[in-house]
Amino acid sequence: MKFVFVNTPDYDSDGFLGAPTSLYYACSRITSDPYSNESAISNLADIEFFDPPTLEDYFCKLPALVSDSQVGFVGFSNTSHSRYIALRGAKIVRDENPNCIIAFGGPHEDETSGNLTCLNHTLSKWGQFVDIVVCGDGEYLLEWLGRSLVERVKSGSRDLTLKKLKDHSDDVEKLPGRGHLDIRKDDSYTRLALSQSMLELDNQPFINWTYIDQRHFNDYPIFYEQSVKPKRTAQVMTHRGCRGACRFCTERRQYNRRSNHLVVEEIERLKTEHEVQSIFFDDSTFNDEEKDAIALCKELERSRVEWGCLTRFDKVDMNALASMKKAGCSYIYLGLEQFDDEVLREVGKRISTNQIVETLTNCHKMGIRVGVSTLFGIGESRDIAQRTIEQVGSWCDEGIVEVVSLSANCYHPGSVTSNCCDDEREFEYDKKPPHKETPWTCFEEGLWYHPKDFNEDYANFIVDSASRNIPLNALVRKAKIKEAISSLETIEV
């Protein structure tokens, strides 16, 4: 029997790059190193990952991949942004291989299927294409699914139906982790919940990077060898969850940390087994717990690896930055959103403009390069947006900020902003994105649903202002911005 796992691409051809770690964390138990886990499913069945670089590849190659009669299970990892494409993929699988079990998991399911009513649950709505939905910690649930299916095949049973899976469901409630697995049942579903204990991250195998496409090692052109060749980079996480409570974001899960020595061991293995030269920490906030982060820095000093991370302006004082720098940190990426105290307070960001200035000054003193994410459509006026852009532009001119991303606030299902929104539009991700053209393509997350007053005129204003005030080279989407500006100039003529 063969298992196929799909990382679903989204419509945004210019999105951030990086390995699809959600899927590989979910599969970490079933793909774990065969020497450390003799019963890993990868020893018992074929496992294939499908991680197409473009939408064209996805639609072109998926039918042939899943039509193989050996394929008995296809799992799609989907974000809200790739949701519709995953649904279209599921239809392809159903058409090509009607008996194959189709499962959905990933950030979109995490953020929705816990809250949905039966009527708009993936299985009730899309039961003709989807059989199983996983919400929350995927590690043990996928292992249970894999093992149940493999054991059935081994015992000579050809009955891989959902009913049989349900007959063996008693064990699920004893498994570690938070979340559940829903199995389709007529027009509804049966829910099997995990034990709801916090996942012991130290008991989880590392991501198995041998299954990850080699191209992802080159996805981080922020660490360079002799200033020209991008270093081979891998993503690592020190913890899950975020203690921030920003109203537009859904990263609110409880803080759950691994032991620092395992983080270092993982990095050492990435160095020796995959020739990795630099690390990007994908934690939502690397410094969420200061003492843990500083203790890790001490251990990282021995690894002598260059690294960068995502963090917050209020979490890195001079002391933290000095430890990070000494441990090899050369780049940090921070959510600045808007340079205005009232707007920051209103969105629950819990940072101040003073902290922004202080941290940027400290990073500059320490020689740590900085990337910032600006977010528009969070209640700022045009004047505030203009001031933010001009301020960021002058930091770029002074060499204090190196990378600038323009993000459009996009309603994430389950965020406070989307829950409080009385906008009558439905924030439905089961269809094509509503904004596929310029100027929306100049923004991270520009393609989806924004607050009503964030209209095309305002989007053009931001792109135009950014192109005048921020050096093009610093802008993450420089190619799209250049394109948008030349079309705006054509209109003016």
Can you give the binding site for ligand SF4, defined by CB under 6 A? 242, 244-246, 249, 251, 284-285, 312, 335
Report which of 19, 417, 83, 24 is spatially closest to residue 250, judged by C-alpha positions. 417
* Least distance between ligand SF4 and beta carbon 451 (Å): 17
The long-range contacts involving 466-470, CB below 8 angstroms and separated by at least 24 positions, are 466/389, 466/393, 466/404, 466/406, 469/389, 469/390, 469/392, 469/393, 470/389, 470/392, 470/393, 470/396, 470/404
Among positions 204-223, residues that touch ligand B12 (CB under 6 A) are: none
Our CB check for ligand B12 shows the closer of 395 and 429 to be 429
Cα 393 to Cα 16: distance, rounded to the nearest angstrom = 21
Q: With binding defined as CB under 6 A, does residue 7 bind ligand B12? A: yes
Count how many Cα atoms sit within 13 Å of the Cα of residue 296 in the half-sphere of its side chain. Answer: 30
Report which of 184, 42, 165 is spatially closest to residue 118, judged by C-alpha positions. 184
* Least distance between ligand B12 and beta carbon 98 (Å): 19
If contact means CB under 5 to 8 A according to the sort of partner, which of ligand B12, ligand SF4, none does residue 470 touch?
none
Our CB check for ligand B12 shows the closer of 255 and 353 to be 255
Our CB check for ligand B12 shows the closer of 17 and 245 to be 17
If contact means CB under 5 to 8 A according to the sort of partner, which of ligand B12, ligand SF4, none does residue 124 touch?
none
The CB-nearest residue to ligand SF4 is 244
Q: With binding defined as CB under 6 A, does residue 103 bind ligand B12? A: yes
* Least distance between ligand B12 and beta carbon 91 (Å): 17
Residues 6+ apart with CB under 8 A from 337: 343, 344, 347, 349, 373, 374, 375, 378
The mark string for 289-328 relative to ligand B12 (x by CB under 6 A, - otherwise) is ----------------------------------------
Our CB check for ligand SF4 shows the closer of 140 and 281 to be 281
Q: With binding defined as CB under 6 A, does residue 110 bind ligand B12? A: yes
Sequence letter at residue 289: E
Q: For residues 455 and 416, is the Cβ–Cβ distance under 8 A?
A: no
Six-digit token string for 110: 């995490």
* Least distance between ligand B12 and beta carbon 492 (Å): 29
DSSP E strand stretches across 321-454:
329-337, 369-376, 403-408
Our CB check for ligand B12 shows the closer of 51 and 391 to be 51
Residues 6+ apart with CB under 8 A from 109: 78, 122, 133, 134, 135
Residues 6+ apart with CB under 8 A from 181: 132, 133, 134, 135, 141, 144, 145, 172, 191, 192, 194
* Least distance between ligand B12 and beta carbon 357 (Å): 26
Our CB check for ligand SF4 shows the closer of 405 and 465 to be 405
Six-digit token string for 30: 């079933």
Report DSSP letters for 164-193, one per residue: HHHHTGGGGGGSSBSEEEEEEETTEEEEEE
For residue 7, count CB atoms less than 10 angstroms from its CB and return exposed for 0-12, middle for 13-18, buried for 19 or more: buried
If contact means CB under 5 to 8 A according to the sort of partner, which of ligand B12, ligand SF4, none does residue 180 touch?
none
In this chain, which of 97, 238, 250, 303 binds ligand B12, going by CB under 6 A? 250
Residues 6+ apart with CB under 8 A from 64: none
- Determine which helix (DSSP H) or strand (DSSP E) holds 480, and give its type and residue range: helix 478-492
Among positions 8-47, residues that touch ligand B12 (CB under 6 A) are: 8-10, 12, 15-18, 20-23, 25-26
If contact means CB under 5 to 8 A according to the sort of partner, which of ligand B12, ligand SF4, none does residue 80 touch?
ligand B12
Strands 306-311 and 278-281: parallel
* Least distance between ligand B12 and beta carbon 236 (Å): 10
Cβ neighbours around 431 below 10 Å, total:
10
Report which of 446, 453, 450, 441 is spatially closest to residue 481, judged by C-alpha positions. 441
Our CB check for ligand B12 shows the closer of 76 and 223 to be 76
* Least distance between ligand B12 and beta carbon 22 (Å): 3
If contact means CB under 5 to 8 A according to the sort of partner, which of ligand SF4, ligand B12, none does residue 244 touch?
ligand SF4
* Least distance between ligand B12 and beta carbon 172 (Å): 13
Cα 56 to Cα 48: distance, rounded to the nearest angstrom = 19
Q: For residues 28 and 207, is the Cβ–Cβ distance under 8 A?
A: yes
Q: With binding defined as CB under 6 A, does residue 82 bind ligand B12? A: yes
Q: With binding defined as CB under 6 A, does residue 138 bind ligand B12? A: yes
Our CB check for ligand B12 shows the closer of 357 and 427 to be 427
Q: With binding defined as CB under 6 A, does residue 282 bind ligand B12? A: yes
In this chain, which of 29, 94, 108, 231 binds ligand B12, going by CB under 6 A? 108
Mark the segment that binds ligand B12 (CB under 6 A) among 138-146, 271-279, 338-346, 467-475: 138-146
Report which of 258, 235, 265, 255 is spatially closest to residue 19, judged by C-alpha positions. 235
If contact means CB under 5 to 8 A according to the sort of partner, which of ligand SF4, ligand B12, none does residue 285 touch?
ligand SF4
Q: With binding defined as CB under 6 A, does residue 142 bind ligand B12? A: yes
**Triad 136, 139, 141: Cα angle to 5°:** 75
Q: Which residues bind ligand B12 (CB under 6 A)?
A: 7-10, 12, 15-18, 20-23, 25-26, 75-77, 79-82, 103, 105-108, 110-111, 134, 137-139, 142, 237, 240, 249-251, 282, 284, 412, 444-445
